[in-house]
Amino acid sequence: MKGTKSDLIKYRMLRARDTFMDAQILADKNRWNSTINRLYYAAYYAVMAILLAEDFKPTTHNGAKSNFTEHFIKTNRIPKKYGKIYSQLFTWRQKGDYDDLFDFDKEKVDPYFKPVLELINIIEGELQK
């Protein structure tokens, strides 16, 4: 079933919130590499929602990051600090998923919960304008 653009945007935001909750569950179990993965994807789904709303359709994660930076961070529609957080999570997600003998810990991961939730909320606000 193919939904409307509006349906897809709502779905992406729902996925962002669900994935953020998944990150919280994983953190409670001290699964830090998986937590970083879920925090990144929570942000990614929200970013994809706002990109779709503006008719950007990147086909890669790097493309999503580039479009988001160019059209939302550099234009100050979204505060720059969230661009930095998204870029850091992008890098760390790859490191946590693909690098051998590399593990995140609570001290490194915990500070990202609040800004990821803020980013989701900011994007939701932008989508309601």
Q: What is the CATH number of the domain that holds 39?
A: 1.20.120.330
Across 44-50, average pLDDT: 98
Q: pLDDT tens across 57-111, in order?
A: 999 999 999 999 999 999 999 999 999 999 999 999 988 788 777 788 999 999 9
Range of the domain at 63: 5-127
Q: What is the pLDDT of residue 95?
A: 85
| Residue 7 to residue 16: CA distance in whole angstroms | 14
Count structural domains, the chain.
1
- Amino acid sitting at position 83: G
Q: pLDDT tens across 6-30, in order?
A: 999 999 999 999 999 999 999 999 9
Cβ atoms of 122 and 78 within 8 Å: the answer is yes
Q: What is the pLDDT of residue 8?
A: 95
Across 33-48, average pLDDT: 97
Across 33-47, average pLDDT: 97
